[in-house]
């Protein structure tokens, strides 16, 4: 994973190098820059994961096209075999993009099995693309002179562009066709092609999605919160490694060693046999890092900040341990309807529509949080649940096969739990496999959210909060906590387009709009009862 910056136009190369350095945290290993004869510029901040010796970017194709890429292309070896006449300069997965472009032009994104954002320049032509779900971040905009920018983060371009926005997932943008949607799965129409949920198919597909993501030339670990999703990914990863000499490192975080997630993670680690690491942080440390974290996150969303704080400390400790890549469980709650508010869905049709909506918003929520809170320390997170083929399969399951039903004793993500309920060779302890959904910002210790709410409420006076609608007319904060975060955000990102790039994470079908799982009556320790 890395940071990319491209300018389609004419700018001073040293100025662009300085702008790119604003996100050097994304690529602490090396950087590179290329300016084409026509003035177009590609800049790259590299975190070396594949091909440590020759994979420096930008990378030239067989002819005159060049590419910068952030992410991983898991089928790059198979794609290389399709292009025997091309001269490859590296063994890096990123290089395949520029060669595919030279062979097939704009229509290359559906060839790519992976998570990516990239820009190719070829004379006066260019192509930019983003992966189907938006696992990797990308922004684009124009300055007063008409120069077009593409960047992994807002930081390099927010003060350069008159207008900018998040690049939409599942799209490409070319000099010849403009913005085009290439990702058009069946599930976009909730009535289209609904299949019966098949647990064997589900098990096989998630195992394959996980196996792909073990591609690495550096040490690899797993994030293990103790919840169902990260525990399954950890268990599957450990099984894939059976028969090898590889040691799997797992990592969990909490306010102390006795919080819900930490205790559950410890059980899983002992059960599957990982080398486990527990990282703790204090409420005071969490509060102290909020302002810096908002700068990294480029978001003022309450859910994102609450959950990113422990993830920030976790990523720092992992990087310091020498691990550069981790697998994580993001995305399962969106595709399976795993959040507790899904229990309140009024019908299977509404349940299905909400899962589709949530998957469509992942790039503004969980994907953004997982990427930016970890890349603050140069750590790459890979997310098997968001494999495009796995998502495509699960999202076409009959919604009744996924919808929870408390009255009938059917938990959230019941079909996922059953797919990995192997009595002969268990994936997980039963109490973990059938553990209730606990949102990450709750599971690290209930006192974290309670404390940050209390702190931010104290930091914003009644008089200040009364000005919320006038001061923040767009996406007006509805709580003092939200007001506090928004005030910090606009100090760093005052542009209205930066403000509009952030979407609030709000649960449906419940009285409280607070994103904490404890705000739902289904939660075992609900504050709504």
- Cα 122 from Cα 8, distance rounded (Å): 11
**DSSP states of 377-434:** TT-EEE-GGG-HHHHHHHTTB-HHHH--BGGGTB-TTHHHHHHT--SSS-SS-HHHHT
Angle between helices 283-297 and 366-375 (to 10 degrees): 100
2, 109, 161, 367: which one is catalytic?
Answer: 2
Sign of CA dihedral 509, 512, 515, 517: negative
Report the Cα 276 to chain-centroid distance in Å: 23
Tell me whether residue 2 is one of the annotated catalytic residues. yes
Tell me: cis bond preceding 58? Omega within 30 of 0 counts. Answer: yes
Q: Do residues 325 and 377 lie in contact, with contact meaning Cβ atoms separated by under 8 Å?
A: no
- SS3 call for 491: helix
Task: Of 178, 145, 179, give the one whose Cα is nearest residue 162.
Answer: 145
- SS3 call for 327: strand
- SS3 call for 11: coil
- Cα 116 from Cα 349, distance rounded (Å): 32
* Residue 267: its H or E element: helix 260-272
Q: Could you give the dihedral angle defined by the CA atoms of residues 457, 460, 461 and 465, in that order, rounded to the nearest 10 degrees?
A: -100
Alpha carbon of 76 to those of 56, 93, 104, 184, 524: distances in Å?
16, 5, 15, 22, 46
Q: Do residues 396 and 193 lie in contact, with contact meaning Cβ atoms separated by under 8 Å?
A: yes
**DSSP states of 93-145:** TTHHHHHHHHHHTTTTGGG--EEEEEEEEETTEEEEEE-SS--S--EEEE-TT
Length of the chain: 529
Phi, psi (deg, nearest 5) at residue 516: -60, 140
Catalytic residues: 2
């Amino acid at each position: 994973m890395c940071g990319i910056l491209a300018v389609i136009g004419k700018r001073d190369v040293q100025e662009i190098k300085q702008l790119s350095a604003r996100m050097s945290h994304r690529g602490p290993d090396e950087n590179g820059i290329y300016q084409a004869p026509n003035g177009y510029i590609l800049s790259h901040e590299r975190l070396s994961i594949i091909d440590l010796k020759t994979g420096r970017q930008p990378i030239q194709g067989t002819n005159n096209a060049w590419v910068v890429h952030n992410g991983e292309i898991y089928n790059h070896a198979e794609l290389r075999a399709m292009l025997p006449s091309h001269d490859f300069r590296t063994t890096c997965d990123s290089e395949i993009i520029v060669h595919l472009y030279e062979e097939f032009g704009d229509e290359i994104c559906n060839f790519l099995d992976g998570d990516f954002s990239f820009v190719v320049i070829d004379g006066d032509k260019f192509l930019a693309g983003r992966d189907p779900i938006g696992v990797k971040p990308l922004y684009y905009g124009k300055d007063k002179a008409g120069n077009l920018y593409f960047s992994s983060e807002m930081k390099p371009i927010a003060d350069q562009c008159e207008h900018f926005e998040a690049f939409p997932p599942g799209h490409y943008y070319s000099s010849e066709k403009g913005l085009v949607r290439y990702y058009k799965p069946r599930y976009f129409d909730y009535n289209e092609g609904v299949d019966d949920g098949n647990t064997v198919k589900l098990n096989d597909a998630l195992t394959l999605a996980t196996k792909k993501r073990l591609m690495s030339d550096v040490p690899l670990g797993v994030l293990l919160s103790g919840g169902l999703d990260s525990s399954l990914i950890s268990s599957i990863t450990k099984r894939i490694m059976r028969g090898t000499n590889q040691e799997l490192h797992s990592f969990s975080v909490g306010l102390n060693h006795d919080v819900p997630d930490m205790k559950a993670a410890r059980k899983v680690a002992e059960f599957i046999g990982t080398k486990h690491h527990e990282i703790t942080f204090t409420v005071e440390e969490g509060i102290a890092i909020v302002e810096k974290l908002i700068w990294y996150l480029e978001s003022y969303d309450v859910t994102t900040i609450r959950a990113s704080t422990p993830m920030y400390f976790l990523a720092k400790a992992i990087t310091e341990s020498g691990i550069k890549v981790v697998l994580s469980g993001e995305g399962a709650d969106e595709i399976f309807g795993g959040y507790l508010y899904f229990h309140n869905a009024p019908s299977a049709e509404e349940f299905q529509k909400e899962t589709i909506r949530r998957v469509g918003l992942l790039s503004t929520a969980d994907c953004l949080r997982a990427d930016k809170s970890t890349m603050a320390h140069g750590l790459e997170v890979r997310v098997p649940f968001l494999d495009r083929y796995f998502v495509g399969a699960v999202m076409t399951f009959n919604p009744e096969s996924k919808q929870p039903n408390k009255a009938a004793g059917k938990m959230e993500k019941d079909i996922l739990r059953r797919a990995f309920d192997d009595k002969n060779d268990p994936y997980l302890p039963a109490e973990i496999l059938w553990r209730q959904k606990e949102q990450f910002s709750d599971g690290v210790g209930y006192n974290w959210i309670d404390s940050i709410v209390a702190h931010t409420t104290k930091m914003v006076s009644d008089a200040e909060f009364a000005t919320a609608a006038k001061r923040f007319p767009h996406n007006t904060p509805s709580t003092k906590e939200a007001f506090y975060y928004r005030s910090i955000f606009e100090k760093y990102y005052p542009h209205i387009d930066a403000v509009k790039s952030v979407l609030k994470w709000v649960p449906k079908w419940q009285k409280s709009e607070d994103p904490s799982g404890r705000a739902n009556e289904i939660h075992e320790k609900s504050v709504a009862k």
